[in-house]
Amino acid sequence: MQANKKYILSLKEYERLFDKLYTSLCLFANKYIGDLDQSKDIVQDVFVKVWEDNVGFQNENNIKSYLYTSVKNKSLDYLKSKRVKTTDNFPITEIAKLETESFFLREVVVLETSNIIENAINTLPNKCAQIIRLSIKDFTNTEIAEELDISINTVKAQKKIAYKRLRPLLKDYFILIAFVFDNTN
Amino acid sequence: MTIFNKIITLSKQIASSLLEDKGFSVLEKSELFDKVNKEYIIKNLTDESLIKRRLRLINQVNKKKDWKKVKSKIDVPVRSIYWKYAVAALLLIGGVITLFINQPGDIQRFNDPVIVNNKILPGEGKAVLTLETGEVIVLGKGVDIKTENASSNGKELIYNNDPSEKLTYNFLTVPRGGQFQLTLSDGTKIWLNSESQLKYPVSFNNTQSRQVELVYGEAYFDVSSSTKHNGLNFKVNHNKQEVKVLGTEFNIKAYKDESNIYTTLVEGEVAVSVRGINKVIKPGEQSNFNSILNTIEVSNVDVFREVGWKYGAFSFKHKPLKEIMVVLSRWYDMEVIFENKRYENVTFNGTLYKNQSIEEVLMLIKGSINSYEINNKTLILK
């Protein structure tokens, strides 16, 4: 019925959006400008604009795409103006590199993936979490067992527990706004 | 699909693959990045010093403090006061409300819901145990009981493992707004969803096949293997179908107010028989028996969506709001009225966590409804 209608966030959803994405977006801006405090200001400005302009969204990816793109543009603007205003001799070729789509996309992948992983691991009991962290760093079961001074069977059993707990969560990948319009409607 | 959507999907796939110790094959196969960028991504996700650096940066971000800054800039107080007055004014002019709400205009946001004495709460562990003597025991939070054959901590009922020749039966009934877990004397674990009833023997004898009856409702079975029980198989009966198993995990959904019985297999193998027809189903498959048309069909399903309730979530894909509300009404023990019938067929995707309040759930669908009203245990979608 309203599948393609743009959806305006309520204050509560807006706050949730901030809660979920603010940190990742700050790190994202930091990749461009290498200044975390300045990055925070940029991301806050982007959020304020979303509210004040009543920006509407169709779905969760649409929101993310908007936020990442806006933060990227603002970061690049900042770099360019800084180059003009100060004696900072940030090479223009560097800026050109930052402006490429592949730079943008790969940073999004790194932040989105690590964010999902962190959130997932945080739902696990301590021991499980430690084991999964090591396994992501490509430790074998034997290496994990040695590192944590436990038996291989414990490692395997804990991994099994972790997978069982994570699977239903990963099915929907910690969706930001749990319900989105069904676009096939 | 836009490139950005592909990137988000890819991120999710990489995350689950890494969490499940399956490496980077998804990324390696992807056409979205060249080799150099792929290596960059892998390094950033697995290299200890890079992970640590990222965590250090994350710790330098104070989300709470910065949210206050943003909030102070978007003058929320002014807006919310304005809305309070607007609603008060509307309440005064009573009859005009509907007309006003239905007028598209500069009001873009959802209308404040009307909430009177909200008694709709998420469900919790509760059930009623009926003993072979007919005695009734209420189980739930804070109730520790011990009978001759079983004990409960308020969340789970566990039967002792002592075989007996004579079969006597107990009933476990889970009301709307409840859920409960049960371990039978043979070690079989059963999760009962809201509004369900199971009849089962207090203990099994070692000569006959093990049988329980799902009288109505939904249950997830993790059956203790027949190899541990002299090869005796396990049967779940229902007045319309029978499921024969050898040791496996599966879910049966057979609600009184639905004409379909769904049997979903998670692991192992089961045979579903209905009126002389036998269907063997494999993991990932679901049989759907329609008692009106008298047909049985087997199809592939997303198993974790089907059994998500056992893990504390309801997960829906392309589900009309009407069906979603049937599921929710059992868990929240509420009555749902669609004042606007058009909402019934709006479909949604997504997952709801069972510990969410009803108001939180409704926040998520408010983009497609004008407003709602809660009065005691009734929810009206307007």
Q: Would you tell me which residues 133-152 of chain A have a C-beta closer than 8 angstroms to some C-beta of chain B?
A: 135-138
- CB of B40 within 8 Å of a chain A CB? The answer is yes
Tell me how far apart the alpha carbons of residues A114 and B161 are, in angstroms, rounded to a whole number.
Answer: 46
Percentage with pLDDT > 90 across chain B = 44
Instruction: Report the run of H or E that residue B374 belongs to, with start and end.
Output: strand B372-375
CB contact under 8 A, B347 and A27: no
pLDDT of residue B201: 94
pLDDT of residue A171: 60
Nearest-CA neighbor of B248 among B296, B283, B213?
Answer: B283
ipTM associated with this complex? 0.86
Chain B residues in contact with A114 by the CB 8 A cut-off are 44-45, 51, 54
DSSP annotation of B344 reads G
Shortest alpha-carbon distance between residue B326 and chain A (Å): 17
- CB of B54 within 8 Å of a chain A CB? The answer is yes
pLDDT tens-digit map of A53-64: 878 777 778 889
**Residue bearing the bigger pLDDT, B112 or A158:** A158
CB contact under 8 A, B58 and A27: yes
pLDDT tens-digit map of B99-145: 222 223 333 356 788 888 888 999 999 999 999 888 899 999 888 88
- List the domains of chain B with CATH numbers: 3-59 (no CATH), 63-109 (no CATH), 124-304 (2.60.120.1440), 308-381 (3.55.50.30)
| Beta pairing, strands B249-254 & B210-222 | antiparallel
pLDDT of residue B109: 55
Percentage with pLDDT > 70 across chain B = 90
Instruction: Identify the closest residue of chain A to B62 by CA–CA distance.
Output: A23
Q: Would you tell me which residues 2-21 of chain B have a C-beta closer than 8 angstroms to some C-beta of chain A?
A: 2-5, 7-8, 10-12, 14-16, 18-21
CB contact under 8 A, A116 and B12: yes
Chain B residues in contact with A12 by the CB 8 A cut-off are 363
Chain B residues in contact with A138 by the CB 8 A cut-off are 46
Chain B residues in contact with A185 by the CB 8 A cut-off are 346-347
Of the candidates A8, A40, A117, the beta carbon closest to that of B108 is on A8
Residue B75 CB neighbour total at 10 angstroms: 11
Shortest alpha-carbon distance between residue A138 and chain B (Å): 7
pLDDT of residue A109: 96
Q: Which of A74-88, A101-115, A169-183 has the highest mean pLDDT?
A: A101-115
Region B45-52 average pLDDT: 91
DSSP B256-304: TT-SEEEEEEEES-EEEEETTEEEEE-TTEEEEEETTTTEEEEEE--HH
Pick from A146-150, B227-231, B375-379: least confident: B227-231
Chain B residues in contact with A51 by the CB 8 A cut-off are 74
The burial of B48, by beta-carbon neighbours within 10 Å (0-12 exposed, 13-18 middle, 19 or more buried), is given as exposed
| Residue B169, pLDDT above cutoff 80 | yes
- List the domains of chain A with CATH numbers: 1-115 (no CATH), 123-185 (1.10.10)
Instruction: Report the run of H or E that residue A7 belongs to, with start and end.
Output: strand A7-8
* Residue carrying structure tokens 């809305």: B83
- CB of A90 within 8 Å of a chain B CB? The answer is no
pLDDT of residue B94: 31
- Rama region for A150: left / alpha / beta (φ>0; ψ in -120 to 50; rest): beta
pLDDT of residue B234: 93
pLDDT averaged over chain A?
A: 82
Q: Which of A6-10, A164-168, A175-179, B244-248 has the highest mean pLDDT?
A: B244-248
pLDDT of residue A179: 40
pLDDT of residue A17: 87
Residues 6 or more apart whose CB falls under 8 angstroms from that of A59 comprise A7, A180, A181, A183
DSSP annotation of B114 reads E
Percentage with pLDDT > 90 across chain A = 41
Question: Which residues face B274 on adjacent strands?
Answer: B277
The token duo for A146 is: 């040695």
pLDDT tens-digit map of B55-108: 999 999 999 999 999 988 886 543 333 333 433 333 333 322 222 222 233 333
| Residue A126, pLDDT above cutoff 90 | no
Shortest alpha-carbon distance between residue A133 and chain B (Å): 8
| Residue B350, pLDDT above cutoff 80 | no
Residues 6 or more apart whose CB falls under 8 angstroms from that of A60 comprise A175, A176, A177, A180
Shortest alpha-carbon distance between residue B215 and chain A (Å): 28
Instruction: Identify the closest residue of chain B to A179 by CA–CA distance.
Output: B350
pLDDT of residue B103: 29
- CB of B135 within 8 Å of a chain A CB? The answer is no
DSSP annotation of B154 reads S
Residues 6 or more apart whose CB falls under 8 angstroms from that of B285 comprise B264, B265, B298, B299, B300, B301
pLDDT averaged over chain B?
A: 84
pLDDT tens-digit map of B361-382: 888 777 778 889 999 999 999 8
Q: Would you tell me which residues 148-177 of chain A have a C-beta closer than 8 angstroms to some C-beta of chain B?
A: 159, 162-163, 166-168, 170-173, 175, 177
pLDDT of residue B319: 83
pLDDT tens-digit map of A71-105: 999 999 988 887 666 665 666 677 888 888 999 99
pLDDT-derived band at B354, boundaries 50, 70, 90: confident
pLDDT tens-digit map of B25-35: 889 989 899 99
